[in-house]
Structure 1
Amino acid sequence: MVSIFHLPLFLLIVMLIVILIYVTFNRISYATKTHKNKPPTPQKLPIIGNLHQISSNPHRSLKTLTQNYGPLVLIHLGSVPVLVASSAESAREILKTHDLIFSSRPKLKIPDTLTYGSKDIAFSPYGDYWRQVRSIAVLHLLNSKRVLLFRHVREEETRVMINTIGESCGSVVNLGELLISLTNNIVCRVALGRKYEGTKFNDLLVRFTYLLGCFSVGNYIPWLSWVDRLSGLEAKTKKLFDEFDEFLEDVLEEHVNQKKMVAGGEKQGQDLFDILLEVQRESTTNFILNRDIMKAAIMDLFAAGTDTTATSIEWAMSELIRHPRVMKKLQQEVKEIGHGKSMINEDDLDQMKYLQAVLKETLRLYTPLPLLISHQSTQDVKLMGYDIAEGTQVIINAWAIGRDPYVWEEADKFRPERFLNSSYDYKGINFEFIPFGAGRRGCPGIQFATIVSELVLANLVYKYDFSLRDEARGEELDMSEITGLTLRRKSLLQVVATPCF
């Protein structure tokens, strides 16, 4: 090794100048930073930042941090600054007052891989591309007219599930599994034109939702990206993408080759792939709706419309079993409106105010995506008196907001009555209740998700009484949770059903 004393005098002088510039720059940078009014920041560790303070249920860990530091907390996940908002006021500032600045998304490795380079609606960065794709979804796939056209699918699949339960009356039924199968079947028929039953397709969906919720070290400590390779996470993600892409490509090719035209040029039994192909053919803009974009949009529907809806209904049923008074009141409402007919249909749902209150209370306590999807600031901004730097990731803890004791009386208790005669809705206007997000990046599929949840829940309590296995009492039901992308029960709900009629 060459000693510093053996270097030429010229090089020594250059090195001293570089060191002086470096030290001076850091001092200036430090002085500049100290003039910034940053949000409260917990003590962090070298390299990992505050990762050691995040548990396997991050919504709970982050709520604890904000209880100690305030409604806005700046943490560091590895080298990435992350702003955590856990109050209605902070959510309003981010999603309404400064919505445009916080409308982008961070680029995350696993979602980026699974969604064709973030070509979907949920994870694509804010800009012209996102506006074009979201416009197609809102105008052609998820508008009120389109949702109404798929009514028969929802009602048919609900009837199938209700009959399946009827065949097992008196014995234990895995209601959690039935709900997952139901939502998968509905989304398959709506998006792809038919059901794809079997272990292979179900396996794809299970792995898809699991991987979207996995933690990737490389996102937050780039020089440790090799950990994701060593753990097999990268390989699993790439393998799933290849399998799902092959499946969707085959389905898309079937649609391209099908000739089901009738008089007037309308396709019989149009599904969402049909509609996207139609939009592609009739496009008069410069935006090219290619195959990858179509497949990414369909993937979004599976991510948003299957696991989240099934788990919401499962949480609702869990709370109803734990609260017989609420169950009895809900059954009374649906039976009065049902008038003894064989099934509740979608025409009946608008009259069921207590049913709607039960679902809102469920979504308040068990927000499907407890941390929503991360946002990212596109410029420096002043937020509630604090200086937030461009490129800061933003997490909105919708779960914590829904359980804020300063907003909700007896915040941790299941009390649907709080939503009766209430102005709270799902549209993101009231920031105390944002289970589907708010602002530009709010979920565009709210109507589709809520109508499935209402229809299924109404028919479950209309047709059957439910109890736990081994004659366990409702209050003994284990309500442990597990968090990935969605907030799920740790164990699927198993019940014994008894016909009401």
Structure 2
Amino acid sequence: MEIQLPSFPILLISFLFLFMVLTKLLKTTKTSSLKLPPGPWKLPLVGNIPHLLGSSLLHHKLRDLAKKHGPLMYLRVGTVPTIIASSADYAKEIMRTHDNVFASRPQILYSQIILYDYSDIGFCPYGEYWRQVRKMFVHELFSPPRIESFFKPIRKEGLLSFVEWIRLNDGLAINLTDKVNLAFCSIFSRVTCGQSKVDNEEILSVLMGTMEVSLGFELTDYFPSVSFFGHISRSKPKLMKLRERSSRIFDKVIQEHQEKKSTELSAGQRGDEEEDMIDVLLKHYNNGDRGYSLTLDNLKAIIWDIYSGGIETSSTTIEWAMSEMMKNPTIMKKAQDEIREVFSKKGSSIDETKLSEMTYLKSIVKETMRLHPSLPLLVPRESQHECEINEFQIPTKTRAIVNVWAIARDPKYWTEPDSFIPERWLNSSIDSKGNHFEYLPFGAGRRICLGISIGLVSVEFTLALLLYHFNWKLPNGMKHEDIDMTESFGATLKRKNHLDLIPSPIIINDHMWS
């Protein structure tokens, strides 16, 4: 009698199943002796993944689970041990008390591909490379003199062009979401690439594409020991194509900068233009004399960080702030009155220096970032070794997620937490610099966002100009109470639907940009 052997696919699936079972048993045995934080029921192999599925957004699901299981919750997502902090106290434990333990990042498919094996600043592992790149950001790329002399004038010019474009569309409904993105992309292209011609619409297309793919459910991220999942990932080829598109843009710009510098050196010339960010980065390219050296891939990963960090989070905050003000016309009127009074003072100029006098506008921005943080779960961290948080033991290689969205809507810390009330900030000492753990729009600790000052000024100044130069109304006779405030799942907390508004320019007497 002929014996029928199992087909190769069946053998492969059986082997993978057996491998996962053994891996699960070994890890379960290792952690079962630890006193872990509480959490919901788990299934073999997949762990707590069923709790994270469904139509609700992830930060909502995690908030609801925390209400049942506590402000520090333990999940096993696939084979990945994960803790979720949903209170200011536990956020402080992760980002201050044990900041050195949780200073690293998990290695996920998105950062492996788009960021050239985790070689940017935001997603790279904690270590010497991160320290050197962080130092470069603080002292060179984002230094106060460079921001004042180079970034500030470019931002001003870019926003002036944006205002003029809106003025030409008087009475027409505009997609404010897309136009703010394009304006910020143009500004960051000038700051980063200088006079090089950059296809901003192509960069935005790639950026939006990575945002859609990056938070897709990736088996390889939750079963990192099963390399097979990386080979069958549907997102991987998409991410590779997106990286190829961005790489073509940045390769060309970097080459232009190198050729220009080479020409100047051979002619004994010294460029009169102030260095852009690529000029600064190229000083560290293949240059061991500075103590560390950047590769071409490192350069492109860092450039991508500047674009993605500078555009997406700021434009998302502006979009939500305008949405909240359109939904609350009294708040918008109060903000416009303040801005127009400040800018209309005798001898006053319309520039960023006047933002310090706009306390109500600043309160609107703070309240927007409380209700709609751009990164509701921040960027995940990962423990470098075992530690103890209160009475709980946290294993090595545990991912730590801080649900800042849930913390910022917790009635323990906030009165009427789901309401948009800018006035709550007028006499508040709470800041956004990571000192107050009930409010963490930029994170805290050594992995805090390095672009806080740039981001805040960009958001405040853009809103000031939009409210100073224009009155706004909704299209198609829509009433303010009918604005849809539904959130969208993605890398950042965006609106589900674009914000379409109709601008109406106001007459400004003898006011010029200075």
Alignment of 1:313-352 (within 5 A): 313-339=318-344, 344-352=350-358
Superposed CA offset, 1:269-325 (max 9, x none): 421001112344886443112222221111111121111111110000000011111
Alignment of 1:95-494 (within 5 A): 95-149=95-149, 150-194=151-195, 196-197=198-199, 199-222=201-224, 226=228, 229-230=231-232, 232-259=234-261, 265=270, 267-280=272-285, 284-339=289-344, 344-494=350-500
- In the alignment, the residues of structure 2 paired with residue 395 and residue 61 of structure 1 have an alpha-carbon distance, to the nearest angstrom, of 13
Decide whether the 8 Å contact of 1:378 with 1:391 is kept in 2: yes
Deviation at 1:202, TM superposition (A): 2.9
Q: Which amino acid aligns with 2:209?
A: R
Deviation at 1:38, TM superposition (A): 1.1
Deviation at 1:208, TM superposition (A): 2.7
Q: Which amino acid aligns with 1:335?
A: R
Q: Which amino acid aligns with 2:185?
A: N
Superposed CA offset, 1:40-60 (max 9, x none): 011012222212222451111
Superposed CA offset, 1:178-236 (max 9, x none): 11111111111111114624643332222233233333111112476656654531111
Decide whether the 8 Å contact of 2:186 with 2:200 is kept in 1: no
Corresponding residue of 2:36: 38
Deviation at 1:421, TM superposition (A): 2.2
* Residue range with higher mean Cα deviation, 327-336 or 225-234: 225-234
The aligned length equals 477
Decide whether the 8 Å contact of 1:344 with 1:455 is kept in 2: no
Distance 1:28 1:232, change over 3 A: closer
Decide whether the 8 Å contact of 2:46 with 2:78 is kept in 1: yes
Deviation at 1:69, TM superposition (A): 0.8
Provide the aligned C-alpha RMSD in A: 2.5
Decide whether the 8 Å contact of 2:286 with 2:293 is kept in 1: no
Q: Which amino acid aligns with 1:238?
A: M
SS at match of 2:213: helix
Deviation at 1:246, TM superposition (A): 2.3
Superposed CA offset, 1:47-98 (max 9, x none): 2221222245111111111111111000111111110001110011110011
- In the alignment, the residues of structure 1 paired with residue 28 and residue 85 of structure 2 have an alpha-carbon distance, to the nearest angstrom, of 27
Deviation at 1:483, TM superposition (A): 2.0
Superposed CA offset, 1:406-451 (max 9, x none): 0010001101111112212221011111101100000001111111
Q: Which amino acid aligns with 1:396?
A: V
Q: Which amino acid aligns with 1:409?
A: T
SS at match of 1:308: helix
**How high is the TM-score relative to the length of structure 2?**
0.88
Distance 1:442 1:29, change over 3 A: closer
SS at match of 2:494: strand
Decide whether the 8 Å contact of 2:96 with 2:445 is kept in 1: yes
Deviation at 1:367, TM superposition (A): 0.5
SS at match of 2:283: helix
Corresponding residue of 2:48: 50
Distance 1:376 1:339, change over 3 A: same
Corresponding residue of 2:18: none
SS at match of 1:156: helix
Q: Which amino acid aligns with 2:251?
A: E
Q: Which amino acid aligns with 1:250?
A: K
Corresponding residue of 2:72: 72
- In the alignment, the residues of structure 2 paired with residue 426 and residue 264 of structure 1 have an alpha-carbon distance, to the nearest angstrom, of 44
- In the alignment, the residues of structure 2 paired with residue 145 and residue 216 of structure 1 have an alpha-carbon distance, to the nearest angstrom, of 42
The alignment-based identity, stated in percent, is 36
* Residue range with higher mean Cα deviation, 253-262 or 169-178: 253-262
Q: Which amino acid aligns with 2:356?
A: D
Corresponding residue of 2:63: 63
- In the alignment, the residues of structure 2 paired with residue 106 and residue 302 of structure 1 have an alpha-carbon distance, to the nearest angstrom, of 22
* Residue range with higher mean Cα deviation, 192-201 or 413-422: 192-201
Distance 1:165 1:120, change over 3 A: same
* Residue range with higher mean Cα deviation, 461-470 or 283-292: 283-292
Decide whether the 8 Å contact of 2:385 with 2:396 is kept in 1: yes
Deviation at 1:342, TM superposition (A): 10
SS at match of 2:472: strand
- In the alignment, the residues of structure 2 paired with residue 68 and residue 266 of structure 1 have an alpha-carbon distance, to the nearest angstrom, of 62
Decide whether the 8 Å contact of 2:211 with 2:491 is kept in 1: yes
- In the alignment, the residues of structure 2 paired with residue 87 and residue 255 of structure 1 have an alpha-carbon distance, to the nearest angstrom, of 47
Decide whether the 8 Å contact of 1:83 with 1:395 is kept in 2: yes
* Residue range with higher mean Cα deviation, 253-262 or 121-130: 253-262
- In the alignment, the residues of structure 1 paired with residue 475 and residue 171 of structure 2 have an alpha-carbon distance, to the nearest angstrom, of 10
- In the alignment, the residues of structure 2 paired with residue 33 and residue 279 of structure 1 have an alpha-carbon distance, to the nearest angstrom, of 43
Deviation at 1:387, TM superposition (A): 0.7
* Residue range with higher mean Cα deviation, 462-471 or 358-367: 462-471
Decide whether the 8 Å contact of 2:72 with 2:83 is kept in 1: yes
- In the alignment, the residues of structure 2 paired with residue 271 and residue 280 of structure 1 have an alpha-carbon distance, to the nearest angstrom, of 15
- In the alignment, the residues of structure 2 paired with residue 370 and residue 484 of structure 1 have an alpha-carbon distance, to the nearest angstrom, of 10
Distance 1:29 1:124, change over 3 A: closer
Corresponding residue of 1:3: none
Decide whether the 8 Å contact of 1:175 with 1:494 is kept in 2: yes
Decide whether the 8 Å contact of 1:110 with 1:216 is kept in 2: no
Q: Which amino acid aligns with 2:172?
A: S
SS at match of 2:174: strand
SS at match of 2:473: strand
Alignment gaps of 5+ in structure 1: 1-22
Q: Which amino acid aligns with 1:253?
A: Q
SS at match of 2:428: coil
Decide whether the 8 Å contact of 1:78 with 1:221 is kept in 2: yes
Superposed CA offset, 1:332-371 (max 9, x none): 1101110179973111111111111110100011110111
SS at match of 1:315: helix
Distance 1:114 1:289, change over 3 A: same
Deviation at 1:121, TM superposition (A): 0.6
**How high is the TM-score relative to the length of structure 1?**
0.90
- In the alignment, the residues of structure 1 paired with residue 500 and residue 31 of structure 2 have an alpha-carbon distance, to the nearest angstrom, of 55
- In the alignment, the residues of structure 2 paired with residue 29 and residue 229 of structure 1 have an alpha-carbon distance, to the nearest angstrom, of 26
Distance 1:52 1:462, change over 3 A: same
Alignment gaps of 5+ in structure 2: 1-21, 508-514
Deviation at 1:29, TM superposition (A): 8.1
- In the alignment, the residues of structure 2 paired with residue 455 and residue 192 of structure 1 have an alpha-carbon distance, to the nearest angstrom, of 23
Q: Which amino acid aligns with 1:207?
A: G
* Residue range with higher mean Cα deviation, 270-279 or 296-305: 270-279
Distance 1:355 1:447, change over 3 A: same
